[in-house]
Amino acid sequence: MRIFANFILKEIYHITRDWRSLLVLICIPVIQLFLFGYAIRTELNNAEIGIIDRSKDYITQEITNKIISSGYFELSAYIENEKQIEHLFKNGTVKEIIIFEPDFAKKLEKEGKASVMLIADASNPNIATLVTSYTSSIIRTYQLELNMKSIKANTIIIPEVKMLFNPELKSVYMFVPGLIALILMLVSALMTSIAITREKEMGSMEVLLVSPLKPQMIIIGKVVPYVVISFFNSMSVLALSILIFHIPFEGSYILFIFESLLFIITALALGILISTIAKSQLAAMMISLGGLLMPTVLLSGFIYPVENMPLVLQWLSYLIPAKWFLIILKGIMLKGLGIEHLWKETLILTGMAIFYLAVSTRKLKIRLE
């Protein structure tokens, strides 16, 4: 144990001597949080819209009012001539145009249905999806209201748009869990794979292996400091998100910590695996970035929803530990789910951790002989 403590001390010297890297390691998560939180926003604020109202009755008027008073939209113009549509989009004056069909109210009363067309500028697909889904949800709410009214004529219903789990559709809510996964992956896998290959590259690994230190002990010794750092990072990101971005945390902190540790172990095992393959620090870095970080960003559902991907990529995403971790984190943080709902994902993640640990220790043994 004393010998092991001695080894950890050496690792701590390595890390603290290189204080610039340490600073980067600790600051990057915070910077990323602010970048994702403030710069990359996908929620709407006063998006400009145009309306073509061919009906001009009380219902279309009410819907228009609802949309404008929602705070997400700002009415740029009532358009009379359809030929203007293209022009307005090309200028970028509006993000969306809403067209009510003629005799909207009448059709609704007689046939029970009337249609409204939403046209969005899909050159920015994210915003297009957002504006249309906001608008349709406002209209749907109004429709519900109408239905209620027809049963109980005198009740006043306060319009309420409710988006489950992310009521304000704040993108930062979606980013924080992804960011935690990304940071844990970055620090645990990338940093450990680099730290281990550095010993190999310098030749000091040989000297360590000739000493009475057990190979497992060398690896654990190299890994422990990074577990501590990545754990600290995920906690600081979480704390900042709660304090600054007021992200809700509905679930259990203990479960959160447990699942984070599980994910850290998986990431570390991957890092060790990479270090057994890579011959140099540079190679370790390239493999970590290309093989771990890219998939974590692209395929985990962190930024792009997995459901919209081609089937092949969806299958591929099942192999990404971060995908499952993300489901778990969102479940805990935004929905307040407990282990009884997340056991399946937890089981998958545990399986992955065990699998990668087994493979990497096996590879490690082969290499050391």
Partner 1 sequence: MNNNKKVIEVSDLTRKFGKFTAVDSISFDVKEGEIFGFLGANGAGKTTAIKMLIGLLSPTSGKATVAGYDVYNQSEQIKKSIGYMSQKFSLYEDLTIAENISFYAGIYGLTDEQINDKTDLLLKKLDLENSRNELIKSLPLGWKQKLAFSVAIIHDPSIAFLDEPTGGVDPITRRQFWNLIYEAAENKRTIFVTTHYMDEAEYCDRVSIMVDGRIEALDSPANLKSKYDSATMNDVFIQLARKNQVKE
- What residues have CB less than 8 Å from 228, skipping those under 6 apart? none
Choose between 80 and 206: whose C-beta lies nearer to partner 1.
206
Choose between 2 and 83: whose C-beta lies nearer to partner 1.
2
Q: What are residue 169's phi and psi, to 5 degrees?
A: 50, 40
Choose between 14 and 335: whose C-beta lies nearer to partner 1.
14
* Residues engaged in binding partner 1 (CB under 8 A): 2-3, 6-7, 9-10, 13-14, 17-18, 202-204, 206-213, 368-369
The Cα–Cα gap between 288 and 191 comes to 9
Nearest to 320 by CA among 258, 261, 262, 266: 266
Q: How far is the CB of 195 from partner 1 (least distance, A)?
A: 12
- What residues have CB less than 8 Å from 226, skipping those under 6 apart? 187, 188, 191, 192, 195, 268
Q: How far is the CB of 214 from partner 1 (least distance, A)?
A: 9
Q: How far is the CB of 73 from partner 1 (least distance, A)?
A: 58
Choose between 111 and 369: whose C-beta lies nearer to partner 1.
369
Q: Which amino acid is at 309?
A: M
Q: How far is the CB of 321 from partner 1 (least distance, A)?
A: 32
C-beta separation of 290 from 268 below 8 A: no
DSSP readout, 114-151? --EEEEE-TTSHHHHHHHHHHHHHHHHHHHHHHHHHHH
Q: How far is the CB of 359 from partner 1 (least distance, A)?
A: 22
Choose between 171 and 197: whose C-beta lies nearer to partner 1.
197
